[in-house]
Structure 1
Amino acid sequence: MKVLGLLSGGKDSCYNLMHCIANGHEVVALATLVPEEGVDELDSYLYQSVGTSLVTLIAKALRLPLYQRTITGKPVHLESTYGSRTKNRGLDQAKKDGIDGDETEDLDELLHQVKADFPDLQGVSTGAILSTYQRTRIEHVASRPSLGLTCLCYLWQRPEAELVDEMLGSGLRAVIMKVAGLGLKVEDVGKELGAMRPKLARLEELYGSHVAGEGGEYETITIDCPLFHESIQIEEAETIVTDPSPVAYYRVKRATLQPKENHHVPTQTQLRESLRLDVDGIEGMSRFDEESEDLLADLKEASESYPEVEDLRLSSPASYSLMERGLSLTQIQHQNFLLADMDDFPKANKAYSAFFGSSPPSRACVSVVLPVNQRVRLEAMGYDDSLLPERSVLGRSALHVQSISYWAPANIGPYSQAVMAGHRLTIAGQIGLIPPTLSLPSPQSFMEEAVLSLQHVRRILAVLRSTSTAGGGWEGWVEGVICWYARSKDLPLAKCAWTAHAKTNGYSKTPVAFIQVPQLPKGALVEWQFAVHTGRRVTPVIHDDEEIPVTCKHDQYNDAGFSGIIIESALGQSHFAVHHFESLGAIADGLEARDVPFASSLERAFSVRVFYDESLTERQVSILRETMKDKSTGAVTLVPVISTSSLNEKQPLCVIVYGQ
């Protein structure tokens, strides 16, 4: 695609351009936002201002047109996400959900200026590594309907030390333009990054500082990289010390371009080699991490025998069901999007996307064996964050990454990779896409797809556990898992993949159900859906005149297939369990046996999903529906599928999954 390079002039934005080209994209122009004339340093949460005077030289060295715009806005909206959760269709689509006076809107004006000159522009290059604040704002603006741009963010979530070493190894040279971190001195200003690398390593070991400067420890300007036709020579500069010391920055008074002897701009293939990329394509760089490579090797040697792992119920601090509390679509945490035919997905998804803006719910999408008069069935789980103090870390937060990267598949659509609300975390269904290409392995391989999709889950969890804006610092546990698969012959490998993954990650007692369905998104062979508990206790705000209901009768099931919205509160104990039944009589017996955990737990469940074999007759389904509605106080969704299974049982007639 044709790409615009958002350029601060620092090492990250320039290095990401190298990856854009190595991925086969064409960089056609550069753009930067700068402070007004005479201002060296601007109080901005989004843009680098120190050293931007050299961006003009960088553009000349790259032989690309440069678009500049003066920053006029301020950091008004300081939340990690940007914009409204709802689709405000009445607003000017060019500034959908924009916030007047916010510095983010300066980027909107700049991108529209470039788009007017390059109407076939498709992508935007950005050098974000860890900053959710920066990435979400660029994604929000770029994805507006009047722009329709895809963000390319190949540095996202890369290990910092490894990344800095790769930059230096590729031939990129950068100068420290500002220091503002513990252990960095005024005299470090103006030094090259390569010379500072040993010191940065020591500071990381001593203080836990960020080697790549992601904690604001330092900023850089690139003076040379393989894409430059000339290098930049800083001929006159001074160090400005600001209050409080030792915050200091480099004010460049004069700089020139210097010829590079025997220089040629590397081709895409040469860039791949210099960036140490796999010969089969750039996706090889981070297609599998070490754990996934070990799992893939184990799968290749898999036999038909599997360890005996029981499906156990897990208990934890958590929730009761709340309904009819006047909550909106913005408080939905997770959606299960069930289609009769995956060919209907584009049309159904277009209608679905009209209801969600930024921070949309997580979502799993599969096709199931719906009755002939139904095309779509939706199940939604919501969270009442009005019970919590304002800006509580236990409120609702989403991981919504729309940028193309090497990390995990981008969400080019109205759903988030994960949503955390209170103590519970829901992860979108993950299929085995190769992140930088958003394509499935070719030739198609169940083993590779299973390993990749489990790797995506692991990486999503790692980000959420470490991100302060998402209330990081928790360990938690996996409450339950559903493995959706499309071919009956792949069930043994699905069980083997889960067993190996569970053993490595400590999930051996996690309830898991294996559900065969006709189709998965993009023709994938497997999709994993995880429910996670963070282990945190949620204390809601309860007013003196307010009563918190602990149970509610679900009566919203209808023939259209919508099972109602389940609203969580943050009180009590929770359980997630998977139960298997060979017959409808076994279900009835289990419900009548009051001393059986299944019966008592089901009465307190906020969510019940019943996966049943498509071979059931219409009368049997009717009996099943009435039985579950009569015995459960939560929302009940019936899901007809090809077959059901667990680790230890062949093909039960019915699988009941519930959360309490």
Structure 2
Amino acid sequence: MKVVALVSGGKDSCYVMMKCIQYGHEIVALANLLPVDDSVDELDSYMYQTVGHQIIVSYAECMNVPLFRRRIRGSSRHQKLSYQMTQGDEVEDMFVLLSEVKRQIPSITAVSSGAIASDYQRLRVESICSRLGLVSLAFLWKQDQTLLLQEMIANGIKAILVKVAAIGLDPSKHLGKDLAFMEPHLLKLKELYGSNVCGEGGEYETLTLDCPLFTNARIVLDEFEVKLHSPDSIAPVGVLHPTIFHLEKKGNADSNSVEEEPGLVFEVQGDGPNTPESTCQLDNGIVEHTRTRVNLSKTGKENTFSICCWLEEDSSESSTGLKEDLETVLTEIETQILKHGLNWQNVLYIHLYISDMTEFAVANETYVKFITQEKCPFGVPSRSTIELPLVQAGLGKAYVEVLVANDHSKRVLHVQSISSWAPSCIGPYSQATLHKGVLHMAGQLGLDPPTMNLRNEGAIAELNQALTNSEAIAEAFRCSITSSAILFVVFCSARTEQSERNQLHEKFVSFLDLAKSSQRVSRTLDPIFLYILVPDLPKRALVEVKPVLYVEEDTETDDETRKDQLCEGDYSCWGYKPEKWHQDCMQTRVIDGKICVTVLSISAEVMRKLHEPSGDEDQQLERIPRFCVYLLNKTLSENSFSWQDTTSLRIHFSTSLGVSLKRLSDMFETAFKELNEMSHGVTFSGLKEPIFNLVPVLGAGNTSASLDNIITCELCSLRS
């Protein structure tokens, strides 16, 4: 990509340019923001480093690329973490600056910034990039600061300290000192006081005078003044004010190269936009489609619940495309959410199922007409996108399930910048959403974060990378997939070689065991594994991992059981008596009495055990939903959970079963109805909608080697 680099003069903004080149990008322009008054060294800004701005003008000559500069007219008006366009805010100066760069150099597609740890700054750069249709590159994001400092010095960043504001740093001693000279002292301050060795806590700022990108010349600072801003005896604050400097041509530069590049610096004027173009209501082209084919399912009560919507294929109608089907489904879900007095900002997670992964771009374009950052000020929901055999199951081309919360307590991690940390989420879906102790992570592919390319060494390599990415995301919530995972859902593409598929689970477990031993984890939750075989995955990936984690919260829970609200009932009329082999079908995890996750597997062997010689085929088939409902209810009852606590019940059924979704749905509805009657209406307490979602798959199993489950129930319950 062609990149415009945001430069402050600091070591970070220069080193990230070097990383951009390392990953194959091209720096074609520089962009800098500076004070209105040249005599002012530092502004009261949450966004911009301006100390040393007098020297930045030389960067254009040193690098032989154009430099665009704008004077900062705004101030920090919008101080919430997630930025929304605010007239007169200093962030709008960046918007005007980058808009002009893009106007003059239309080939630019990305913006680099030196963000390491500041969500405040990263989110604002991402906001501007989103408005301008640019990609944010932040290759230093979440990197270990000690290693990063060593890298910068080892790779030729020659920078000096131009501001100090921390204990152990003295303006009279340390301003103007080289970064390499200061490294031992900075590491010592980290040991003594926990200081950030890269200055991410505001401990110090730097000015780069030379680096490998400065091919024409280096900057020599001849004279400077020390200005003391705060004479605090513990942590005095001082800045370096440059007074005289010159450029020293490099030996490999043409003798006249520096002088021959006048006019490379552009002063950007103009005002910011008067209205937020990102919030303008545009005609999204959505049209009303027939609703006769729409089917809905709702799980749970009003606190946290799922809504699922799919279409039935109608042979009497002309076939519609993915775009039309997805519009119909999302419109119906939006209507249902609004009926509960909620909107898209209340959605925690979205399962987007489509019939053909080659139409992923079409699905995404339709998706973003409904779910936008403007509609979700608390953060866009996490998402997984999977191809399912929808048409084979007699469904339309799109199927969507959303998890909704009737509150605004969710915490969302949405990093759109491309970095070395974890794969970016460019667009309206986030890496993970935390709600009431449950961390719902987006489906993770085996993508190399800085390049966003899929690992091409096969399914095992993809799995390892996907797990590494998952761990990076988990660490952002101060937890680990090795100790906090409740459930791992692993989608395997039908394109996966059987030989590799047989090894996936073994490699998965060994990855977790190795991570546990290296981290010395004291407590683990013994996660459930569910492997699902599907036709295809995004980017033609072979594996996608969807972890569900438990993150402890500092809230007290009601430990009283509610057995008086539950009723196991008399199931003798169904012919079931508790048997030992029933437990082999079930995997259940109950966490602190708050969360219950159960996976129930019905294989061909289980079907044989349920076989009644005297029954016909229909009767045999009806026993399966009844058996599932019986075991699920028994598990909830034994663990003091109610069906009203259910947030989702996903019933994955293999298309090899040869049963239509409607018929299977009717059988499960009948089973639940009988359960409710046996319990005298106590079990569901007025829940009228179907409380399950039927999901057609190619197969499922507890291990990657055995994906022969005919029906797999995935039940999640949350005690409120």
Question: Shared fold (TM-score greater than 0.5)?
Answer: yes
**Match for residue 653 of structure 1?**
710
Per-residue CA deviation, residues 501-531 of structure 1 (Å, 9 max, x unaligned), is 3323455721110000000001000000011
Identity of aligned residues (%): 34
Contact map agreement 2:485 2:525 (CA 8 A) in 1: no
**Match for residue 454 of structure 2?**
440
Structure 1 residue matching 2:417: 3-state secondary structure: coil
Aligned to 2:414, which of 393, 397, 400?
A: 400
Aligned to 2:697, which of 638, 641, 648?
A: 641
Cα pair distance change 1:576/1:190, threshold 3 Å: same
| Unpaired runs of at least 5, structure 2 | 255-302, 307-336, 374-378, 517-523, 558-564, 567-591, 608-620, 676-683
Cα pair distance change 1:635/1:51, threshold 3 Å: farther
Contact map agreement 1:465 1:474 (CA 8 A) in 2: no
After superposition, residues 423-502 of structure 1 pair within 5 angstroms as 423-442=437-456, 444-465=457-478, 477-487=484-494, 489=498, 490-502=500-512
After superposition, residues 606-617 of structure 1 pair within 5 angstroms as 606-616=647-657, 617=659
Aligned to 1:223, which of 209, 221, 234?
A: 209
After superposition, residues 235-254 of structure 1 pair within 5 angstroms as 235-243=222-230, 245=232, 246-254=236-244
Quote the offset at 1:577 in angstroms.
2.0
Aligned to 2:155, which of 170, 178, 183?
A: 170
**Match for residue 381 of structure 1?**
403
Aligned to 2:90, which of 103, 120, 127?
A: 103
**Match for residue 44 of structure 1?**
45
Per-residue CA deviation, residues 564-594 of structure 1 (Å, 9 max, x unaligned), is xxxxxxx972212212123462541353369
Aligned to 2:102, which of 112, 115, 138?
A: 115
Question: Are positions 1:21 and 2:7 aligned together?
Answer: no
RMSD: 2.7
Contact map agreement 1:592 1:599 (CA 8 A) in 2: no
Quote the offset at 1:355 in angstroms.
2.4
Cα pair distance change 1:627/1:183, threshold 3 Å: farther
Per-residue CA deviation, residues 506-557 of structure 1 (Å, 9 max, x unaligned), is 55721110000000001000000011111114479xxxxxxxxx99xxxxxx
Write the distance in 2 (CA, Å) between the matches of 1:595 and 1:439. Answer: 44
Write the distance in 2 (CA, Å) between the matches of 1:364 and 1:587. Answer: 27
**Match for residue 138 of structure 1?**
125
Question: Are positions 1:596 and 2:586 aligned together?
Answer: no
Structure 2 residue matching 1:12: 3-state secondary structure: helix
AA in 1 matched with 2:120 = Y
Aligned to 1:209, which of 184, 195, 200?
A: 195
Write the distance in 1 (CA, Å) between the matches of 2:691 and 2:159. Answer: 57
Greater relative contact order: 1 or 2 (C-alpha under 8 angstroms, separation 6 or more)?
1
Cα pair distance change 1:602/1:485, threshold 3 Å: farther
Question: Are positions 1:67 and 2:71 aligned together?
Answer: no
Structure showing greater radius of gyration is 2
Contact map agreement 1:485 1:527 (CA 8 A) in 2: yes
Quote the offset at 1:464 in angstroms.
2.6
Write the distance in 1 (CA, Å) between the matches of 2:431 and 2:108. Answer: 26
AA in 2 matched with 1:127 = G
Question: Are positions 1:536 and 2:546 aligned together?
Answer: no
Contact map agreement 1:486 1:518 (CA 8 A) in 2: yes
**Match for residue 351 of structure 2?**
336
Write the distance in 2 (CA, Å) between the matches of 1:218 and 1:361. Answer: 37
Aligned to 1:353, which of 347, 368, 373?
A: 368
Write the distance in 2 (CA, Å) between the matches of 1:416 and 1:320. Answer: 19
Contact map agreement 2:484 2:525 (CA 8 A) in 1: no
Structure 2 residue matching 1:606: 3-state secondary structure: strand
Structure 1 residue matching 2:447: 3-state secondary structure: coil
Cα pair distance change 1:593/1:204, threshold 3 Å: closer
After superposition, residues 553-568 of structure 1 pair within 5 angstroms as none
AA in 2 matched with 1:609 = R
Write the distance in 1 (CA, Å) between the matches of 2:668 and 2:360. Answer: 27
**Match for residue 272 of structure 1?**
none
Quote the offset at 1:59 in angstroms.
2.2
Quote the offset at 1:194 in angstroms.
0.6
AA in 2 matched with 1:645 = G
Contact map agreement 1:422 1:538 (CA 8 A) in 2: no
AA in 2 matched with 1:114 = V
Contact map agreement 1:432 1:452 (CA 8 A) in 2: yes
**Match for residue 286 of structure 1?**
none
Write the distance in 2 (CA, Å) between the matches of 1:594 and 1:428. Answer: 26
| Unpaired runs of at least 5, structure 1 | 84-97, 265-318, 387-394, 467-472, 541-549, 552-570
Quote the offset at 1:475 in angstroms.
10
What TM-score do you get using the length of structure 2 for normalisation?
A: 0.72
Write the distance in 1 (CA, Å) between the matches of 2:698 and 2:482. Answer: 35
Cα pair distance change 1:431/1:593, threshold 3 Å: closer
AA in 2 matched with 1:230 = A
Structure 2 residue matching 1:596: 3-state secondary structure: helix
AA in 2 matched with 1:597 = T
Contact map agreement 2:114 2:138 (CA 8 A) in 1: yes
Q: Across the two proteins, how many residue pairs are aligned to each other?
A: 547
**Match for residue 80 of structure 1?**
81
Using the TM superposition, name which of 590-599 and 53-62 deviates more: 590-599
AA in 2 matched with 1:338 = Y
Write the distance in 2 (CA, Å) between the matches of 1:492 and 1:218. Answer: 53
Contact map agreement 1:593 1:599 (CA 8 A) in 2: no
Write the distance in 1 (CA, Å) between the matches of 2:554 and 2:649. Answer: 23
Cα pair distance change 1:35/1:590, threshold 3 Å: same
Structure 1 residue matching 2:651: 3-state secondary structure: strand
AA in 2 matched with 1:175 = I
Quote the offset at 1:440 in angstroms.
1.6
Per-residue CA deviation, residues 369-416 of structure 1 (Å, 9 max, x unaligned), is 213441111111122335xxxxxxxx3222212222222212122211
AA in 1 matched with 2:629 = L
Write the distance in 2 (CA, Å) between the matches of 1:78 and 1:464. Answer: 23
After superposition, residues 616-635 of structure 1 pair within 5 angstroms as 616=657, 617-618=659-660, 620-627=663-670, 630=673, 635=691
Cα pair distance change 1:376/1:430, threshold 3 Å: same
Write the distance in 1 (CA, Å) between the matches of 2:695 and 2:184. Answer: 58
Quote the offset at 1:262 in angstroms.
4.7
Cα pair distance change 1:499/1:223, threshold 3 Å: same
Write the distance in 2 (CA, Å) between the matches of 1:44 and 1:381. Answer: 39
Cα pair distance change 1:474/1:80, threshold 3 Å: farther
Question: Are positions 1:255 and 2:245 aligned together?
Answer: yes
Write the distance in 1 (CA, Å) between the matches of 2:54 and 2:593. Answer: 58
Write the distance in 1 (CA, Å) between the matches of 2:363 and 2:671. Answer: 28
Contact map agreement 2:231 2:237 (CA 8 A) in 1: yes
Contact map agreement 1:441 1:448 (CA 8 A) in 2: yes
What TM-score do you get using the length of structure 1 for normalisation?
A: 0.78
Structure 1 residue matching 2:709: 3-state secondary structure: coil
**Match for residue 31 of structure 2?**
31
Write the distance in 1 (CA, Å) between the matches of 2:305 and 2:535. Answer: 32
Using the TM superposition, name which of 194-203 and 428-437 deviates more: 428-437
**Match for residue 331 of structure 2?**
none
After superposition, residues 148-163 of structure 1 pair within 5 angstroms as 148-163=133-148
